[in-house]
């Protein structure tokens, strides 16, 4: 079984319904709708059938062909559970109909069924009947790729979820079963938190939020977001990170924080009315251990958005063609739950070998890279991509072109004031009062230390104090600094080369980057 090479991915419910309506009016004999939502799709098809004066008939292996609704329709044979019998009965229908075949792809393993479906497609071209295959996954044998038109059914959009929320609120208020404490902006955030869920999943999420404390409030936004974890876990290609960090956990990086602050409300409707597009993403280059990964986590928490991590290692697999399909699936999952922050960590490792891909892996890496570049350039879904990289020589130059990302930031080693802040953050994080220590002296002594190395100094000092059965003292921290050899010293040439390349090509993340000490 192979996937059809051409498919439509509509941007909204209105768009896909217009596409479907056009295909029905054009008398396309075979359509393939990709969706998990049988009930929602069936309800929408019932409206289409009524608009076109057609009957709606559904088929399943358990019930066979059945008329949907109570209106008039064609006479159907008694037992049509066998797919071949069903196709024969469809060809004999006397009235214009929309016929929905549910979970039909597994039967396409049978060459006789494939042949029968192809012959049915030719027979229906002179009629007003359209056969629609409805399945959550796209699986088509090569023989049918030119016979079938594929339409991806998007998950419920903002308006559909808004209507659902209004219905639930009306029921809750009518029954006096719970209170609703949502402002207009909070209701908008709650709906956006539910985007990416099916209509049934969203209904369950709203009901669960109400059942938790007998009310629907702004606190439930996080609970609805947590429902998305199930969607991510099932994909197997992305990792979901709950919002645990915030920008206060990141020392320094004043320019980057200011840039992020100005875009905090950029995913809201007010920004669209102002004429602003959604932020596309940023690329963070820099010395290892200087807070790139921590910043990625903090961005999602700061903007109150889910955080997904894309591991490029999971994208590449041994089966021919599966790597490209894995990337498409990962992108589809990310877009389905947008707005979202998509974190691509150590991008250069996943894309290493692009130049030699044709001779080393049959061009797989090059094709995956090309698909990623195209998506970064053309994406319309509000997926904010945060890519991080340590080695610029591992990045293809096409990736650095403007338009892929809103901005490219260089995260350098923290300077003295930033190191002082980082010491304070990690001491406080572990329950020790920063004001009881001489942080300026520690910051001066830890020249050219990265943020990660400062953290390890605090951890090492705590271990030493704990081993002595003593309170953490300045001497423990000082000794830990003196016993640490920072990466900027052991890899001095590499760090200097990275800094030289970044100067004039990237935007400094820190307000005082120009005054960094030389390792």
- Superfamily of domain covering 13-152: P-loop containing nucleotide triphosphate hydrolases (3.40.50.300)
Cβ-based burial of 324 (10 A; exposed 0-12, middle 13-18, buried ≥19):
middle
Cβ-based burial of 232 (10 A; exposed 0-12, middle 13-18, buried ≥19):
buried
Among 10-24, 143-157, 428-442, 484-498, the range with the most confident prediction by mean pLDDT is 428-442
The token pair that represents 225 in the structure block = 């977001």
Decide if 495 contacts 390 (C-beta within 8 A): no
209: three-class secondary structure by DSSP = helix
Closest CA to 252 of 309, 283, 292: 292
pLDDT for res 442: 95
Domain 158-226 identical in fold to domain 416-490: yes
Provide the edge-to-edge strand list for the sheet that holds 97-102: 64-67, 55-60, 97-102, 130-135, 30-34, 149-152
- The mean pLDDT value of the chain amounts to 83
User: How far, CA to CA in Å, does 52 sit from each of 22, 27, 57?
Assistant: 11, 11, 14
8: three-class secondary structure by DSSP = strand
Element spanning 257, H or E: helix 254-261
Instruction: Name, in order, each residue with C-beta under 8 angstroms of 474's C-beta and a sequence gap of 6 or more.
Output: 437, 438, 441, 442
The token pair that represents 416 in the structure block = 């003295």
d(CA 95, CA 128): 8
Work out the average pLDDT over 427-445. 93
Q: Using the CB atoms, write b or e for 126-155: b if 16+ within 10 Å.
A: ebbbbbbbbbeebbbbeebeebbbbbbbbb
Percent of the chain with pLDDT over 90: 31
Helices 158-175 and 184-194, axial angle in degrees (round to 10): 120
The token pair that represents 105 in the structure block = 């792809």
CB atoms within 10 A of CB 108: 18
What is this structure's pTM?
0.67
Quickly tell me which residue has 């409030």 as its tokens: 217
Helix H, strand E, coil C: the string for 165-222 is: HHHHHHHHHHHCCCEEECCHHHHHHHHHHHECECHHHHHHHHHHHHHHHCEEECCHHH
- pLDDT per residue as tens digits for the range 67-92: 987 667 788 888 899 999 999 999 99
Span of 80-84, 153-157, 232-236, 255-259 with lowest mean pLDDT: 232-236
At residue 359's C-alpha, the angle toward residues 355 and 364, to 5°, is: 70
Instruction: Quickly state the pLDDT bin for 209 (edges 50, 70, 90).
Output: confident
pLDDT for res 393: 67
CB atoms within 10 A of CB 286: 27
pLDDT for res 83: 95
pLDDT for res 437: 94
The token pair that represents 450 in the structure block = 């990265």
Decide if 506 contacts 285 (C-beta within 8 A): yes
Q: Look at strands 64-67 and 55-60 and give their pairing.
A: antiparallel
d(CA 152, CA 145): 15
- pLDDT per residue as tens digits for the range 145-176: 888 999 988 888 888 888 888 888 787 777 66
CB atoms within 10 A of CB 465: 18
d(CA 374, CA 401): 12
Work out the average pLDDT over 428-455. 92
Give me the phi and psi of 444, to 5 degrees please.
Answer: -65, -40
The token pair that represents 201 in the structure block = 């999943």
Decide if 422 contacts 451 (C-beta within 8 A): yes
Indicate the domain borders of the chain: 13-152, 158-226, 238-411, 416-490
Element spanning 341, H or E: strand 340-344
pLDDT for res 14: 58
Topology given in CATH for the domain delimited by 158-226? Helicase, Ruva Protein; domain 3 (1.10.8)
- pLDDT per residue as tens digits for the range 462-505: 999 999 999 999 999 999 999 998 888 888 888 888 888 888 77
Closest CA to 16 of 195, 152, 156, 163: 152
| Class of domain 416-490 as given by CATH | mainly alpha
Residue bearing the bigger pLDDT, 354 or 242: 242
Topology given in CATH for the domain delimited by 238-411? Rossmann fold (3.40.50)
The token pair that represents 491 in the structure block = 């890899």
CB atoms within 10 A of CB 83: 21
pLDDT for res 512: 61
Instruction: Quickly state the pLDDT bin for 318 (edges 50, 70, 90).
Output: low
Could you give the dihedral angle defined by the CA atoms of residues 201, 207, 208 and 213, in that order, rounded to the nearest 10 degrees? 160
d(CA 98, CA 84): 18
Instruction: Quickly state the pLDDT bin for 4 (edges 50, 70, 90).
Output: very low
Which phi-psi region, left, alpha or beta, contains residue 24 (left: φ > 0; alpha: ψ -120 to 50)? alpha
């Amino acid at each position: 079984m192979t996937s059809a090479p051409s498919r439509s991915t509509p941007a909204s419910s209105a768009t896909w319904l217009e596409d479907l309506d056009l295909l029905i009016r054009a008398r396309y004999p075979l359509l393939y709708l990709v969706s998990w939502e049988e009930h929602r799709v069936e309800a929408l098809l019932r409206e289409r059938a009524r608009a076109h004066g057609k009957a709606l008939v559904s088929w399943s292996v358990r019930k066979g062909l059945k008329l949907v609704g109570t209106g008039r329709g064609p006479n159907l044979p008694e037992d049509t559970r066998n797919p071949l019998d069903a196709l024969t009965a469809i060809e004999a229908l006397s009235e214009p109909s929309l016929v929905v075949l549910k979970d039909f792809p597994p039967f396409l393993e049978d060459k006789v069924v494939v042949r029968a479906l192809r012959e049915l497609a030719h027979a229906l071209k002179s009629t007003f009947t359209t056969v629609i295959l409805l399945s959550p996954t796209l699986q088509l044998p090569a023989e049918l790729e030119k016979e079938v038109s594929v339409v991806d059914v998007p998950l419920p959009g903002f308006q559909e979820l808004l209507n659902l929320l209004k219905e639930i609120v009306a029921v809750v208020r009518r029954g006096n079963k719970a209170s609703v404490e949502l402002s207009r902006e909070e209701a908008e955030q709650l709906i956006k938190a539910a985007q990416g869920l099916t209509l049934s999943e969203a209904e369950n999420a709203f009901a669960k939020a109400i059942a938790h404390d007998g009310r629907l409030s702004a606190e439930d936004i996080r609970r609805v977001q947590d429902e998305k974890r199930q969607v991510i876990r099932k994909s197997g290609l992305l990792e979901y990170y709950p919002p645990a960090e915030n920008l206060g956990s990141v020392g320094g990086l004043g320019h980057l924080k200011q840039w992020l602050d100005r875009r905090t409300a950029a995913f809201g409707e007010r920004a669209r009315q102002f004429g602003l597009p959604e932020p596309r993403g940023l690329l963070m280059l820099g010395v290892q251990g200087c807070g790139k990964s921590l910043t990625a986590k903090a961005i999602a928490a700061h903007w109150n958005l889910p955080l997904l991590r894309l591991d490029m290692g999971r994208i590449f697999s041994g089966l021919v063609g599966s790597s490209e399909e894995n990337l498409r699936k990962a992108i589809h999952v990310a877009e389905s739950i947008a707005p979202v922050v998509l974190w691509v960590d150590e991008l250069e490792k996943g894309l290493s070998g692009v130049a030699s891909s044709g001779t080393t892996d049959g061009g797989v890496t090059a094709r995956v890279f090309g698909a990623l570049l195209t998506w970064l350039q053309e994406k319309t879904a509000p997926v904010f991509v945060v890519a991080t990289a340590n080695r610029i020589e591992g990045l293809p130059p096409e990736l650095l072109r403007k338009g892929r990302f809103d901005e490219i930031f260089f995260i350098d080693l923290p300077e003295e004031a930033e190191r002082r802040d980082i010491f304070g953050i990690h001491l406080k994080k572990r329950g020790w009062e920063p004001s009881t220590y001489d942080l300026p002296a520690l910051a001066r002594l830890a020249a050219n230390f990265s943020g990660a190395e400062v953290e390890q100094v605090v951890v090492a000092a705590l271990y030493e104090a704990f081993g002595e059965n003593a309170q953490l003292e300045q001497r423990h921290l000082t000794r830990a600094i003196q016993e640490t050899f920072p990466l900027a010293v052991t890899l001095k040439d590499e760090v200097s080369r990275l800094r030289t390349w970044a100067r004039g090509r990237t935007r400094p993340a820190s307000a005082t980057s120009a005054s960094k000490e030389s390792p």
